[in-house]
């Protein structure tokens, strides 16, 4: 396992300190943006909770029977709750269902087989459907000694407030810029590229690294060029919509399109340097467009919709924002 990043280590240290002082909640909610390392930290904590003889550093010893079983994925007092396969076929469900939660209550009522803690890790917790969330609530209402429920999600707002309010929250926030820069440098990224990547990722180092490694920044520049070309009539909405949706990068393109508009608006409001994306000054229309792109992003998950038509409509709106006479004077 690679060492934890400083912002991950801080959260782990806080959780271990709470545990040592007997203040660790029986229900924990790990939240924060994707790629902040929530699951990694949760797993380190799970291994500590399952260890019979933790070290002086407060971590799992790595040698006891509990640690061996945890490493093998066969610890009887641990449940990993995530997506299970659909009834027919080998595809995974897209939500966590009530049966998975109903099993947890009676399981938590058993005496732990290894005599230590019992731990259930639910990830991604926002995938709990309504019935599953209600069933989980019942388990949360009956806290017991040495039983831990760990929920991991980057969308805590999708969990019922009744669940959130019963959890101790561990929130992963983007670190200070210096720390993010140092971490990316240490992972071999040059200053010339890591700065723009961190800006694009709004300070989230894990996301910046992902984009550096997988061509995300190049895709962002491509989206910017496409929007510029559309505005000046060098691109047409329909083929562009088809191209944007043509591969598995569709969601990321729409994310970048929305963020470029947002960046352009804030830069214009701050009268800072141009973003490379020429925007009309009609903020009302731009914000409507921003909302539309975000809606289109969410709807990508719904297979039956004609995403190409919806997106072509949005791109047409984009072009028309630049061709209206009232706008043209405001282009500079």
Among the listed residues 51, 212, 245, 286, the single contact to Zn ion using CB under 5 A: 51
Pick the closer one to Zn ion by CB: 62 or 143: 62
Closest approach of Zn ion to the CB of residue 53, in Å = 5
Report helix angle 237-244 to 216-231, nearest 10. 170
Stretch that binds Zn ion, among 55-63, 130-138, 224-232, 303-311 (CB under 5 A): 55-63
Pick the closer one to Zn ion by CB: 16 or 127: 16
Among the listed residues 64, 225, 238, 281, the single contact to Zn ion using CB under 5 A: 64
Among the listed residues 29, 41, 42, 67, the single contact to Zn ion using CB under 5 A: 67
Q: Which residues of 157-186 are buried (b: 16+ CB within 10 A; e: fewer)?
A: eebeeebbebbeebebebbeeeebbebbee
Among the listed residues 24, 33, 61, 97, the single contact to Zn ion using CB under 5 A: 61
User: What does 256-313 look like in DSSP terms, one character per residue?
Assistant: HHHHHHHHHHHHHHTT-S--SS---S-HHHHHHHHHHHHHHHHHTT-TTS-HHHHHHH
Closest approach of Zn ion to the CB of residue 74, in Å = 15
Closest approach of Zn ion to the CB of residue 15, in Å = 17
**Is residue 136 within 8 Å of residue 100, measured between CB atoms?**
no
Pick the closer one to Zn ion by CB: 53 or 328: 53
- Three state DSSP letters for 64-115: CHHHHHHHHCCCCCEEEECCCECCCCCCECCCECHHHHHCHHHHHHCCCCCC
Closest approach of Zn ion to the CB of residue 16, in Å = 14
Would you count residue 69 as binding Zn ion (CB under 5 A)?
A: no
Residues at the interface with Zn ion (CB under 5 A): 51, 60-61, 64, 67
């Amino acid at each position: 396992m690679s060492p934890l990043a400083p912002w991950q280590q801080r959260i782990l240290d806080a959780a271990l300190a709470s545990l040592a002082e007997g203040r660790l909640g029986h229900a924990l909610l790990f939240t924060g943006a994707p790629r902040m390392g929530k699951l990694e930290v949760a797993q380190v904590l799970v291994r500590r909770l399952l260890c019979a003889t933790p070290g002086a550093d407060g971590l799992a010893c790595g040698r006891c029977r509990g640690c061996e079983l945890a490493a093998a994925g066969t610890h009887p007092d641990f449940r990993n709750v995530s997506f299970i396969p659909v009834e027919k076929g080998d595809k995974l469900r897209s939500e966590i269902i009530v049966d998975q939660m109903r099993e947890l209550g009676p399981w938590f009522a058993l005496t732990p087989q290894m005599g230590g803690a019992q731990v259930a890790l639910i990830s991604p917790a926002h995938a709990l459907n309504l019935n599953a969330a209600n069933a989980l609530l019942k388990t949360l209402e009956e806290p017991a000694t040495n039983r831990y429920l760990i929920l991991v999600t980057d969308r805590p707002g999708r969990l019922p407030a009744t669940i959130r309010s019963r959890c101790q929250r561990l929130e992963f926030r983007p670190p200070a810029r210096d720390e993010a820069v140092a971490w990316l440098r240490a992972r071999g990224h040059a200053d010339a590229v890591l700065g723009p990547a961190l800006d694009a990722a709004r300070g989230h180092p894990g996301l910046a690294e992902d984009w550096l490694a997988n061509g995300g920044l190049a895709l962002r520049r491509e989206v910017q060029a496409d929007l510029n070309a559309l505005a000046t009539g060098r691109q047409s909405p329909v083929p562009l919509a088809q191209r944007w949706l043509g591969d598995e990068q569709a969601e990321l393109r729409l994310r970048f399109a929305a963020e470029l508009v947002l960046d352009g608006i804030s830069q214009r409001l701050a009268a800072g340097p141009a973003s490379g994306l020429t925007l009309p000054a009609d903020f009302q229309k731009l914000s409507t467009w921003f909302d539309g792109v975000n809606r289109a992003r969410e709807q990508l998950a719904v297979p039956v919709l004609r995403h190409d038509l919806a997106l072509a409509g949005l791109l047409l709106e984009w072009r028309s924002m630049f061709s209206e006479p009232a706008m043209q004077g405001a282009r500079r």
